[in-house]
Structure 1
Amino acid sequence: MDPNDFIRHLPDDILHHIISLLPFKSAVRTSFLSTHWKHLWKEALLDSVHDVITIEAAITAITSFVDDFDTRHRPRNKWGLIFELGHGRGSLVASISSNSSLKLDFSAGKQEFPMPFDLFLKLNLAPPNRLSRRYMFDWLLEENHPSQREQPPSNTMSVKSLHLISVSHLSNMAVSSLVPKLPFLRSLTIAKCNGLQSLQIKEAKGLRKLVVLDCPHLQSLSFEGSSLKSFRYRGNLVSFRFRGKCKTTVLFGATVGSSWKTSWLISDKVL
């Protein structure tokens, strides 16, 4: 060890304080410095919740956290939650960045032998020409809540990018209930979901970017939408089905047997 490496010998409490002063993205990047730094940013920037029994309760708490994210009284260094789930379900890490990107990471609860499941997401997204907040309430009245005119819109609606990591058969129903509450979602990433056999996305009117990575048991992917601009897929060859008129740029990589093959398709044609 370098005797002049003073940072290595600092206690974690001081390292947490240093990380809390960094911009969110820079703080997350410290996880690549070493094994010891891998989880320091989570300990510094995320609140730990120990009394959550079910994933459904965690999703409710996440929704409440995102609703209050833009309030003036939120501590500047609190960017998410870590849920220690009971009954051997591991933990869930939820973080939200300042650019309205929400990340749900279930990897700590990943099972050794994942059970097969299907993921159905009915997005109910707002059309892309109605993105501004001044249209949000009108759209909600028109599309979903015709009898609730007195209720103001929730800040949850401001989430525009969602990353789902290691969703399992235990958590897919809770995730499916959360996604429709994000009608201004423009980017969706689904990664490392062991056991996921089919992915069906419907009513994605305003979704512009879809990324699906490293879901080894996936067999079919179905998408219905009209505004998709970019689609990226990496994994085994699967059955794809797209419905709707989309001018899309596609990046596709797939494994065939033990080899890796990548093909690029840049297209202005309507899918």
Structure 2
Amino acid sequence: MAKRKTCSKKQLNGPRVKKKKSRLQLSDLPSDILHYIISQLPIKEAARTSILSKHWEDVWCSRRNLKFSFKSLFYNRKCRIPYSSIKEQVFIDRVNTVLNQHSGVGVEKLEFEFSSLHNEHAEHIDGWLKFAIASKTKQLILDFTFVHPPMEPYSFPFQLFDATTGSQLQSMKLGSVLLNLTKLELVDVNITSEEFETTLFNCNVLEFLGISRCLMLTSLWTRHPLNHLNHLHVSHCPLLQELELSSGLITLEYEGPLMPLASHSTLRNVCIKSPDVCSALAYIFIEFPSTLPRLEMLTIRCQEIEPLKFTYLRHLRLELNFVSLETRTTDVLDLACLLEAAPYMEKLELHVILRMWMDRTLERYRKRHGELRSLPSQLHSHLKVVNMTGFYGQKDQVDLALHILGNASVLETMKINPKPMVAATNVLLTSEDGFCFVDGYRAAKKYLFRADHRGVVDVVKVRRRDVENVWPYKLVDPYWIALEAEQER
């Protein structure tokens, strides 16, 4: 019997064929992932990927952020190259090589950082700016900040930018760049106070500066004079707390929270926009006289509001202490506004203390001092009692007393005391003050009695013989007054 051939398992299934496993190539990854990988590499390494294969030639050209610096172009951990050994032309050649190969599409951020570049390299830097304009770059940084004594800084060519070419640019940072500008406006710019000061350092011919809606600014100041800057416009910078610029500033336009101004001896034209007239008036009367001695034109832009009124005020007591005749700027007649501010006031006390200094003496009002002033009528239907002390007969005191006398329709008594009865013991009185008491009495008798048609004026009589060779404090100090009264009894 013939033996049956047994077929091996191998023969039944035929010869075994080895299958090759497919390998995933890096270039097979989705383009978004490739672009992300490229963006994480230094620009030097990203450009080198173009030699990997034909597929990789253009991958790196989609890189959206291009930073050219010593670190990104030359730095090597294994072989450290000193910064000083890199010549400007070597840096320029590498930048130009990369930009010539790049597609120039979709570049969002373009940064050049190399401190050795200056105005002699303007031709190449101008070319880089043209690349930024063509690629519609959104963020541009030119940082040529000098480490050593500087050469002439790069002069920024603003003529390359206009409403069309610069429409995509959202932010720009410049370091050691000369801005040959006569006019600069910053609107919605995220710039800090330190960056602002650095920017102005290179604006030597700037004449107009406008700043609006710069939300990071806390102060506007410069360490160096801006000799040509004469017009400053500032608006809607809510964090701004300090404003101190060139001493040659002539015009200031300001809108925002009111703040103290540094002294500007040359400032002549000021325009202030304030939320309400009350805060604006208080601001200009308190701040301006000492800081703006040459102010010629002042414009206040305010919203119309209801006048400030104290509807519950019935009794007002005001003590005015004039420290020095030489520095006195307050006009007592301005206090007439109290009649409007307190429409239901029934009693008004006004106590004035005037200090005498050296050989300066006070003179009561006389015709040669000019005509007495009259304000528009402000009828007051509640004021009944007025008490005025320290009435030396000064022109503005007479003006105010006559205004009240003519407008307080229900006034019952107006008591005028030439002597400063309130707090007089705390000030320095001289023998001349006694004669001023007499002047006050004479001025009140001459002008107030003449205008008093209702018989409400009561003036404390002070005669010359009452003050001659008399210590003034005996006339005003409560202790001495009581003592004199007791002796008379």
TM range, normalised to the smaller chain? Answer: 0.3 to 0.5
TM-score, normalized by length of structure 2? 0.24
If you compute each CA radius of gyration, which structure gives the higher value, 1 or 2? Answer: 2
Which structure is richer in relative contact order (CA contacts within 8 A, separation 6 or more)? Answer: 1
Give the number of the structure whose residues are more often helix, by fraction: 2
